[in-house]
Amino acid sequence: MLTIAAAIILGCCALGAGLCTGIGAIGPGIGEGNAVAKSCEAIGRQPESKGAVTSTMIMGCAVAETTGIYSLVISILLIFVAPSTFINILKSL
Amino acid sequence: MKVQAPVKTETRRIAVGVAVLSALMLIVFVLIGRFDWTVLWGTLLGGGYAVLNFFLMALTVQHAAEQMNGVTLPAEEEETGDETQPKQKEELPQQKMARSIVQRSYTLRLALTALVAVIAVKVPLFHAVPAIVAFFFPRIVITAQPLLQKLKKGE
């Protein structure tokens, strides 16, 4: 019984980790792409503002990327920390 | 590819901020009595990778911006107030290229981040917590920048 429960926990953790990073990485990818495409348009319209636009674009991309890293960290926790914690809880019951 | 001034400036700023925050984190670990060498190595791994990731991202953005070299678009047309027919703008091939460059780079850097995080968790030489916390330092530095600028101005 405990083996089946542990297997279910492991499976759910792996599934959750995959979904977390998979879904969490979509947003920053689309957002960064859109931001850069629009910034390129702005540079095309006002080439003299290239430096300022590039600076702002770098900061914007860094901020957008953080959500991807959040989801990655959650996935790492789900893979390496959560299974042992849950199985220990299960054993103590 | 020559590294442009905005990339250098922003990377330097982020590197200084990450160094300061890393030092603060080490002080916190000392104060709570959890400091050992693995914490130091973990901080160096996480902080170093955070700065490297930012630099790679900045280089990618610079490369994407360079796609517009020699391309000049007309200034934006003034709004006529006619909202009945929304303007449908076609994306330039350079914009599409820039978008794909950034998205490809993001995917690769996320994979690299995952690799570094797994190394931080699996290799006993590194403490996982400071290594992973240090990934978020660039964001904290960026968020704190306006506040620091206000403090500098004495507002």
Chain B window 39-78: which residues touch A at a Cβ cutoff of 8 Å?
A: 54, 57-58, 61-62, 64-65, 67-68, 71-76
Arithmetic mean of pLDDT over chain B: 87
The H-or-E segment that residue A5 falls in is: helix A2-24
Pairwise CB contact (< 8 Å): A44 & B73: yes
Handedness of CA A84, A88, A90, A91 (dihedral sign): positive
Q: In whole angstroms, what is the distance from residue A78 CA to residue A12 CA? A: 9
Per-residue pLDDT tens digits of chain B, which is 155 residues long: 788 888 999 999 999 999 999 999 999 999 999 999 999 999 999 999 999 999 999 999 999 888 877 777 777 655 555 555 555 567 788 888 889 999 999 999 999 999 999 999 999 999 999 999 999 999 999 999 888 888 888 76
Q: Which of B6, B74, B114 is the closest to A55 by Cβ?
A: B6
User: Global pTM?
Assistant: 0.88
Q: What is the DSSP letter of B32?
A: T
- Domains in chain B: boundaries: 5-69+94-153
Q: How far is A81 from chain B (nearest CA, A)?
A: 10
Which string of DSSP letters, residue by residue, matches B46-93?
HHHHHHHHHHHHHHHHHHHHGGGTT--PPPPPPP-S--SS---PPPPH
Report d(CA B123, CA B143) in Å as an integer. 31
Domain at A27-92, CATH class: mainly alpha
Domain ranges of chain A: 27-92
Contacts of A61 in chain B (CB under 8 A): 57, 61, 102
